[in-house]
Structure 1
Amino acid sequence: MTSEEFQKVSARAIALGLSVPRTLVEAATGVPPLTRRERDILYGELNGLKLLLGNLTNNVNQISRALNSDVQVPATQIRSVLQRAEIAARRVEDLAEEFRVR
């Protein structure tokens, strides 16, 4: 890499708030460059989804256990779990679309 190329990469890294090696890796792999703030937002959103999916799994297990023991489960509870699953799926789809490599 010439010194001019290094200066350009360094300037890009500084603008994105990334290290020079990370900037080079992202350029080589075609990963869209994200600023540190965008990465933090993405990380927070993915963590939120992980928690939501964990709660959904727990709720589905509780409903399953109740149904297998012939306990009546209110339809509103089942609908609520399904609605939260839809919300989580939509959030995943939205994130995937937002950060899709084009």
Structure 2
Amino acid sequence: MSVDEQLHERIRDAVRSVPAGRVATYGDIAEIARASTPRLVGRVLSEDGHDLPWHRVLRASGRPAPHLARRQLELLRAEGVPAVNDKVDLRTYRWGVRD
């Protein structure tokens, strides 16, 4: 999976655009950025997402990645996004092209 510079920046811009108090899925970000797969979004975030609101991007199930779960859910709670059983209600808090 290759990420050219333009796609890399589109992914970063899409993540940056998710407002506080809302979440998007990796698939939502991939769709907005026109990436071929949500995995590219995860890759960009893991390699170059430290300065982005990475915590607002979740799996399609509404759950965070296990290795990030504690910190991610803590940051989301601070923005008013609760999780029940470590899962965010996407019907309530999801943002994206549907907004």
Identify the TM-score tier after normalising by the shorter chain.
under 0.3
Bigger helix fraction: 1
- Does 1 or 2 have the higher relative contact order (CA < 8 Å, sep 6+)? 2
More strand by share: 2
Greater C-alpha radius of gyration: 1
TM-score, normalised on structure 1? 0.26
TM-score normalised by L of structure 2: 0.26
